Structures are given as C-alpha cells and as structure tokens.
C-alpha cells in the first residue's frame, strides 16, 4: 500500500470544497442584466448631453466626458458592462462627433490620436476595475476564513482549557500517592497530545485557507533553536539533543514563531521515529542568503517509497511511528513555503533520516562596538 489516507482527510476536503459558509461573493458570479441596462442608459445619457453641449465646446472635450462615464461605471459595475460602455462610447463619439460624421473614417491626425488614446484608456479602466473587484473579493473571503478559524479555535480550545485546569487542580488534591501519580501523568500526556493535534489541525487549516502570512522580523537563530527544544522538552524525553551551529551565525529576518513551530514538529518527528536514548542533532547553517535548519536522527530512516510523499497532508508511511496524525511534516512544508523556502528529506549514510528546511533570508552580521561598562 502506497501510504494511507484516513477518512478524516476525505471529510476535511469535502468541507473545503463545499465551503458552506463562504460569502456570496465569488470571482465568477453572473452579471445581472440590470447592469447592462444601466450601461446602455448611461451611454445614451452621455450622448444626449454631448449633443447638447457640442455646439458650445466643440467635439474634442466630449471624449473626456465619455471617459468620465467609463470611470463612473467602472467603480460600480462588472467587467462586461464596463467594456460595453467603453466600446459603445468610442463608436458613438466617432460616428456622431468626429468629422466626417456618420462614418468610421477619421479625417484629422489629431482626432485619430485622441480616439486611439480614448479607446486604450477606456479598455485599461475596464480591466483595472475588474482586478480591483477581484482583490476585494479575496480580501473579504480571507477575513471570513480568519473569523471562522478564530471561532473554531475558540470552541476547541476552551473546553480543553477547562479539562486541563481541572486535571491540574485535582493533581494538587491527590498528593503524593504513587499509583495515582502514574494516572495523573498519563492524563497529562494525553492532554498534551490532544493539544498538539488541535494546534496542528488549526495550523493546517490556516495554511489551506491561505490566511497565513509570515510576519518577518529580526531573530537570532540560536535563540530560535533553543526555544524549539524547550517547547518540545516533554516530547523529547529519553533523547539526547545536540545543537550544531556556528557561534557566529548572523541574525536573520524571518517569522520566528513559524520557524520555531516547524522545528518543534521536526524534533517530535525525529523523536517518534528513533529509539529512546538515541541522539537527535539540530544543525543550522547560513550561507549565501539561505538559512538551512536540519534535524538528523538515528532511527531506521525513511523507506525509499515514502520519501517523495512524507510532506503530504495525512500521508502516513507504512513504517511510520504509531500515534502521529500525518500533519506535522505537512505543516513544516507549508510554513517553509510561506517563507519562500523548501523542505527536503533524505536518509543518512550512517543510518537515520535527515529533514531540512532551506529558506531565503535577509541577514545582518554586526558586532556592536565593544564599549566596556
């Protein structure tokens, strides 16, 4: 079997496709007939106005009047009606106002240039308004996805907080009885896992909804690694973690929280796939504007058939350690991509797996002046 996809993945995909809660605006909704009527009436009104004022101001400024109309409808209407206004205005202006009248021929070079410019500007306007509208739709749907995620996150985390707080409170009550202590420890472990799964699910949804934008700020790589190791401490019990990093690494511009989360996932993955007591190495290198963070373990490595798939959502290789969700590495992949980087995985010659994230970063190497206190 080439990896299993759980039922869960199917139901999550359904949810995403149907988008039951999506706002009514979409990119390809049909243009109401009303908009075409407005376009035609608008063009007619502008033409009547032009006929009335032409004896006073001449035919050339009328082009500007028509352009004004294109801009006005561009703000309110869809692409189709806007283009209709642009084209019909051009035709009417040429036929009715540019000599010789009632004929597509344009006599003077000046008029010809005006006409061509008008047509180009009108078409560009139509195009720009459509783009603007599309951007607005995307923004609205991003806002919506964000709100939905926030409320789902609240609904999942609130009851979990209550359970966690209850267990913590009870822990004090049960005191030092060793048998109950084991029970308490197992409960805590379970809760911690549940918490991680919920975090991973929410992060995956954020990635799929494309509402994740890294907020870049200066950070210290050593610091980032240290924080990730501390955060995964419980999950790494029984493993030895060694950090191999140059002491003179520059500070980099990245989203520290996202990279930390990715590194945590890589560490937990390494711990789950290698024997207790073995060594996990975190390696950091920065050269040529690219930061590489890799995690190496001493497990039995990744089967060759699984290697190309391990970063897919819900992919669980046949040899995968029990208890995983198939989300951890997919999130690492997503977060790394969000930074414009890429992940890679391979088996080490000495045994075990190595998974690396490589991201392009802005670096700053700067030794503060040694002013002694």
Each residue 181-200 as x (binds other proteins by CB under 8 A) or -, in order, gives ----------x---x-----
Tokens 């420890």 correspond to 185
Tokens 């870049």 correspond to 216
CB 72 within 8 A of CB 35: no
Choose the binding region for other proteins from 25-33, 44-52, 124-132, 158-166 (rule: CB under 8 A): 158-166
CA distance 2 to 98: 71
Each residue 256-275 as x (binds other proteins by CB under 8 A) or -, in order, gives xx--x---------------
Can you tell me which of 111, 145, 255, 306 binds other proteins, judged by CB under 8 A?
A: 255
Assess 180 for contact with other proteins (CB under 8 A): no
Closer to other proteins by Cβ: residue 187 or 312: 187
Closer to other proteins by Cβ: residue 7 or 172: 172
Q: In what order do the strands lie in the sheet with 362-364?
A: 217-220, 251-254, 362-364
Can you tell me which of 8, 21, 101, 218 binds other proteins, judged by CB under 8 A?
A: 218
Sequence-separated (6 or more) residues with CB below 8 Å from residue 157: 198
- Selection from 329, 312, 332 nearest residue 9 by Cα: 312
CA distance 108 to 41: 30
Choose the binding region for other proteins from 44-52, 270-278, 328-336, 360-368 (rule: CB under 8 A): 360-368
Closer to other proteins by Cβ: residue 2 or 371: 371
CA distance 273 to 276: 9
Choose the binding region for other proteins from 103-111, 153-161, 306-314, 319-327 (rule: CB under 8 A): 153-161
CA distance 84 to 194: 57
Q: At closest approach, how far in Å is the CB of 234 from other proteins?
A: 11
CA distance 46 to 61: 13
Q: At closest approach, how far in Å is the CB of 247 from other proteins?
A: 7
Choose the binding region for other proteins from 2-10, 26-34, 58-66, 161-169 (rule: CB under 8 A): 161-169
Can you tell me which of 219, 295, 338, 355 binds other proteins, judged by CB under 8 A?
A: 219
Inter-CA distances, 249 with 185, 222, 226, Å: 39, 8, 14
Quick one: how far is CA 148 from the chain centroid?
15
H-type alpha helices, 175-220: 178-208
Assess 157 for contact with other proteins (CB under 8 A): yes
Interacting residues toward other proteins by CB under 8 A: 150, 153-154, 157-166, 168-169, 172, 191, 195, 215, 217-220, 222-224, 226-227, 230, 247, 251, 255-257, 260, 364, 366, 368-373
């Amino acid at each position: 079997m080439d990896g299993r996809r759980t039922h869960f993945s199917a139901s999550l995909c359904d949810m995403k496709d149907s988008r039951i809660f999506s706002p009514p605006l979409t990119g390809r909704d049909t243009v109401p007939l009303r908009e075409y009527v407005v376009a035609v009436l608008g063009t007619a009104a502008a033409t009547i106005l032009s006929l009335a004022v032409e004896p006073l101001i001449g035919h050339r400024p009328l082009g500007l009047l028509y352009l004004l109309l294109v801009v006005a409808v561009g703000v309110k209407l869809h692409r189709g009606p806007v283009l209709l206004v642009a084209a019909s205005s051009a035709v009417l202006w040429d036929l009715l106002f540019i000599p010789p009248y009632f004929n597509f021929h344009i006599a003077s070079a000046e008029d010809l240039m005006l006409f061509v410019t008008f047509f180009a500007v009108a078409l560009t306007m139509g195009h720009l308004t459509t783009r603007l509208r599309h951007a607005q739709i995307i923004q609205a749907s991003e806002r919506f996805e964000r709100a939905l995620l926030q409320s789902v996150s609240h609904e999942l985390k609130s009851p979990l907080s209550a359970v966690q707080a209850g267990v913590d409170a009870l822990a004090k009550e049960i005191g030092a009885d060793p048998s109950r202590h084991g029970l308490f420890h197992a409960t805590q472990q379970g809760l911690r896992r549940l918490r991680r799964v919920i975090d991973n699910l929410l992060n995956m949804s954020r990635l799929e909804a494309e509402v994740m934008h890294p907020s870049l700020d200066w950070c210290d790589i050593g610091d980032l690694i240290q924080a990730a190791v501390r955060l995964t401490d419980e999950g790494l019990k029984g493993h030895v973690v060694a950090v191999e990093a140059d002491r003179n690494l520059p500070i980099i511009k990245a989203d520290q929280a996202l990279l930390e989360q990715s590194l945590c996932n890589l560490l937990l993955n390494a711990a789950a796939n290698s024997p207790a007591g073995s060594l996990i190495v975190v390696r950091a290198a920065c050269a040529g504007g690219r930061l590489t963070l890799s995690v190496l373990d001493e497990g039995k490595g990744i089967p060759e058939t699984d290697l190309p798939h391990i970063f897919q959502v819900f992919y669980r290789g046949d040899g995968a350690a029990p208890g995983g969700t198939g989300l951890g590495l997919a999130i690492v992949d997503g977060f790394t991509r969000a930074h414009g980087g890429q992940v890679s995985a391979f088996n080490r010659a000495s045994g075990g797996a190595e998974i690396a994230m490589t991201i392009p970063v802005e670096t700053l190497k700067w030794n503060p002046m040694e002013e002694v206190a």
